[in-house]
Structure 1
Amino acid sequence: MRVRRVRILAKLKPPTGVSDVAARIPKAAKGGAQVRIEKYGDGEQTSWAVYIGGTVDWDPVATNEPFDLAANVSAIAQQNAGSFRAVMEAMQAAGVEPGDPVVVAGHSQGGIVATQVAASEAFNVQAVATFGAPETCVPVPSGVATLTVEHSDDVVTALGGSCLIDSEDRLTVRREVFATTEPPVGENVPAHHLDRYRETAQLINASPEENLQNFQDTMTGIVGSAEGEAVLWRGIRLPAGSAPK
C-alpha cells in the first residue's frame, strides 16, 4: 500500500456538528481522495478528525484502488482490507500520535473502516460517526462515543448481518428517506447516497434530543474551536511483491 497527499487545505474551522462531519466525508470518485485528515491544536495538545469515503470501484477484479469491492467484502468479514490499511497508513503519514485525541467518521465502507480504526486501539479514537455503514460485529472500545446513522430504506446497512454489538456509548439514528416521496428513477440505492445522509445529518444537528446534543458536544470538545488544516489523502494498492516508494 502507498499513500500520498492529494491536496492541503489550510485555515479551516473545526466541525461544530454532525452536519459538518458528514459534509467533509470525501465522495467516492475514481482517482480522487478517499481520506481527509484534519489537524487542530498546538504542540502541547493536538487533536484530529479523520473522514473516510465509501466504495469507489465495484468491479470484482482488484486493481490499484483499495476502496473496492474486494475491500468491502474483507472489511465486513473483519479481515485486513486494503481500505483499512490505506487509512491507517494515511494517519501515520499525517503525524497522528498514539495518544492524540481523534474523531473518525465514514460513509458506507468508510464507516466500517472507521469502527475498525477505533477497534484497533492503535490511535486514541474518542468518537466515531458512521453513515450508511453495513452492520458489523466490530466492537468499538468502551468509552468511545459512537453515532450510527442508518436509513431504513437503505439496503446496504443490512449487508453485514445484524450482529452489531450494542453499548451504552452508542447512539443509533434511523430515518426513512422516501417516506413521503417516491425514490428518483434511475438511481441505484438512492437512500444510500452520501448526499442523503448529509441531509439526515442536518436534521440531527437541529434535533433537541439531549443524547444527540451530548454526542455533538463530545465531538466538538475533542477538536476544539481553533482553526486547523486539512490534508486529502489517496491510497494506492501496490501489486503483490512491490515495495512502497
Structure 2
Amino acid sequence: MADSAPVGAGSAPLPLPPAPDGILTVRGGLGGISFQFEELLRGVAQLDQLVRQLLAVEAETRRVQDELALSLYESYASGCEAINAVADSGKEVGRVRHELEAVAEAVRAGHRDYQKAETRNAYPGDFGAEQIGLSMWAGTLSRDITENLLSSAFPSGVDASDAVRSILGSPFLRGIHPRSVTAHSMGDSVEVIEPSMAQSMRRLESLHALGDGQIEIIQLDKNGSSAWMVLIPGTQPNSPNTNPFDIPGIGEALGYDSQHVAPAIAQALREAGAEAGDQVVAVGHSQGGAHAMNLSRNKAFLSEFDLKYVLTAGAPTGGITPEQGISSMHLEHAQDWVPGGDGRLPADTKDRVTVTLTNPVQTPEGQDPGLGPGHDLENYASGAERVSASEDPSLVASSAVFAGVVGAGGAAKVTRFKLEREPIRDPRTDARAPNLPENRSTAGAR
C-alpha cells in the first residue's frame, strides 16, 4: 500500500515563528516571519513568471490545434488523433498553471493576514483588569501590559509621539520644551576595548552613574581605517535642567525625534575625529536607546555618517522606523515596562531583531529598585552575552553585522563629551534662569 501523503502536502507553505532559545525569545531578522514571507513572496514572483510561460504554452497549443485542423481534409483519423493529443497536452498545462496560481494566491492571502495581525500587534488593544491588577500587585507593570495600556489609550491614528508633542507643546510647560544642545569634550584616553554587546552595556552603566549628561565616543581601528561607537546613557533624573538626559529629555526622544540631541552627537563625533562616511554603531539604554534609534532616521546625521547598527536595551523604540539598510537589535525584558512605554512593538523585518529576556529577576534586598529589576543594565549585559552565544539564525546574522563594524577590539581612543542643553530663559528679562534640579522624587529612574 502506498504511503499516505503528509497532512497539508501540496498546500501553500506557512512561515513559523522561531523556537525560544533558552530565556531568549527572538522576533524579526533572518529567522523572523516577516523575512520568511519576503522569501515566499519572492518565490511567488517566480511562480508568476512560470504561469506566464505556461499561458504562452497554452496559447501555442491552441495555435497548433488550428493548424492541425487543416490536415483533417487529408487524413481525418490521424488528424483527429493529433488534435486530441495536443488538446490533452494543453489541458494538462492549464491544470498545472491553475495549481500554481492557487499556491501563489494562498501565499499572498497568508501575507495579507500576517500584515493585519502585525497591525493589531502594533496596537495590541485592551488588557484584562485582572492581569493589570496582578502586575501592579507584583510591584511593576510588565512590558506587554504597558504596551497594551498605552496603545488602547490612543485613538486610531494617534500614537505616543503625538501625545508627547501635544503635552510638551503647551505654553504652560515652557520649562520642559526641547532646547538646543551642545557637546563639550571632557578629554580623551587610550584604553583596551572589548567592543562586545555585553561590555557596551557595562560601559553604559558607568556613564549613567556619572549623572551629568556625558556620552562616550570610541574610535576603533579596522585594518587601518576608523569605525566609531557612540554610547548614550539612559534617563538621569537628579540633574540640572541643562542635562538633556533628564526626565524632559524623554519627551525630546519620543516626541521630537531627538532634534537637538542628534546634532550634538554628530558634533561630538566630528570633534572626536570622525570623518564623513565613517561607519558608526550607536548603543543606548532606556531614553538613550530612543535617541540612538532616532539617529537611524535623522537625514542630516545619515548624510554625514554611515550608521550601520543600533543596539538598544530597555528602550521604547517601537514607533521609530529606521532608514533601509541600517541593522538594529533591541534587548527587552518581559518584566521591564519601559520598552512598552510608546505602546508599539518594534517592526519585524530582515534588519531589525527584538530579543525578549524571559528569566525572572528580582532587586537584591536593600538596593534601590529604580524602575524595576528588569530595567537593570547588568541584567541586559547578561542577556547580551547569551545573544552572542546563541545559534539562532536571526541573532547570528545580526551579531555578525555588529562585529563586522566594531572589529575584534584592542587599543582604542575613548573620548567623553558632556552634552548640555541651553538654559531656560526668563521671558521677562531675557536672562538665563538658574539651573534647577528637577524631579528629585524619581531617584533611581533610568
Partner residue, 1:64? 242
Cα distance per residue 1:188-210 (max 9 Å; x no partner): 32211212111211221222223
SS of residue in 2 equivalent to 1:119: coil
Show the counterpart of 2:214.
34
Whole-Å separation in 2 of the counterparts to 1:80 and 1:208: 35
Equivalent residue number for residue 396 of structure 2: 213
Tell whether 2:265 aligns with 1:87. yes
1:78 matches 2:261: no
Query: Counting helix residues as a fraction of each chain, which structure ranks higher?
Result: 2
Partners in 2 of 1:135 and 1:102 — Cα distance?
Answer: 19
Which has more radius of gyration?
A: 2
Q: Which amino acid aligns with 1:56?
A: Q
Asked if the contact 2:213/2:243 (under 8 Å) is kept, the reply is no
Question: How many residues end up aligned between the 2 structures?
Answer: 238
TM-score by length of 1: 0.85
Superposed displacement of residue 148, structure 1: 0.8
Q: Work out which of the residue numbers 148, 155, 163 in structure 1 matches 2:337.
A: 155
Check 1:184–1:81 CA distance in 2 against 1; reply closer, same or farther (3 A cut).
farther
- Cα offset for 1:230? 1.0
CA–CA distance in structure 1, aligned partners of residues 243 and 213 of structure 2: 11
Secondary structure, counterpart of 1:29 in structure 2: helix
What is the one-letter code of the residue matched to 1:22? M
Q: Distance in 1 between matches of 2:382 and 2:261?
A: 26
Structure with the larger RCO, 1 or 2 (CA within 8 Å, 6+ apart): 1
What is the letter of the counterpart of residue 326 of structure 2? V
**Superposed structure 1 runs of 4+ greater than 3 Å apart:** 29-33, 78-86, 163-166, 181-186, 240-243
Deviation at 1:36, TM superposition (A): 1.0
Q: Residues 44, 30 of structure 1: CA spacing in aligned structure 2 closer, same or farther, 3 A cutoff? A: closer
2:289 and 2:317 in contact (8 A); partners too: no
Counterparts of residues 12-23 of structure 1 (less than 5 Å): 12-15=192-195, 17-23=196-202
- TM-score w.r.t. the length of structure 2 is 0.49
Q: Pairwise mapping of residues 1-245 of structure 1 onto structure 2 (< 5 A)?
A: 1-15=181-195, 17-25=196-204, 26-32=206-212, 34-41=214-221, 45-57=225-237, 63-80=241-258, 82-120=260-298, 121-122=302-303, 123-162=305-344, 164-178=346-360, 182-184=362-364, 186-188=368-370, 189-225=372-408, 227-240=411-424
Name the CA shift for 1:99/1:30 in 2 (closer, same or farther; >3 Å).
same
Query: Partner amino acid for 2:220?
Result: Y
Residues 48 and 14 of structure 1, relative CA distance in 2, 3 Å threshold: farther
Distance in 2 of aligned mates of 1:129 and 1:79: 17
Q: 1:43 to 1:29 in 2, by over 3 A?
A: same
Output the CA distance in 1 between the equivalents of 2:400 and 2:386.
16
Mapped partners of 2:199, 2:362: distance in 1: 27
Could you list the runs of 5+ residues in structure 2 that have no partner in the other structure?
1-180, 426-430, 433-446
User: 1:33 Cα deviation (Å)?
Assistant: 5.4
Q: Give 1:141 deviation, angstroms.
A: 1.5
In structure 1, stretches of 5+ residues that fail to align are none
1:55 CA displacement: 0.6
Aligned partners of 1:152 and 1:174 also within 8 Å: yes
Comparing 43-52 and 24-33, the one that deviates more: 24-33
Pair 228,203 (structure 1): closer, same or farther in 2 beyond 3 Å = same
Take 2:184 and 2:327, find their aligned partners in 1: how far apart are those partners?
Answer: 30
After TM superposition, the structure 1 stretch with the greater mean CA deviation from structure 2, 206-215 or 74-83, is: 74-83
The CA RMSD measured in Å over matched residues stands at 2.7
Give the counterpart letter for 1:127 in structure 2.
Y
Distance 1:236 1:145, change over 3 A: same
Deviates more, 1:148-157 or 1:39-48: 39-48
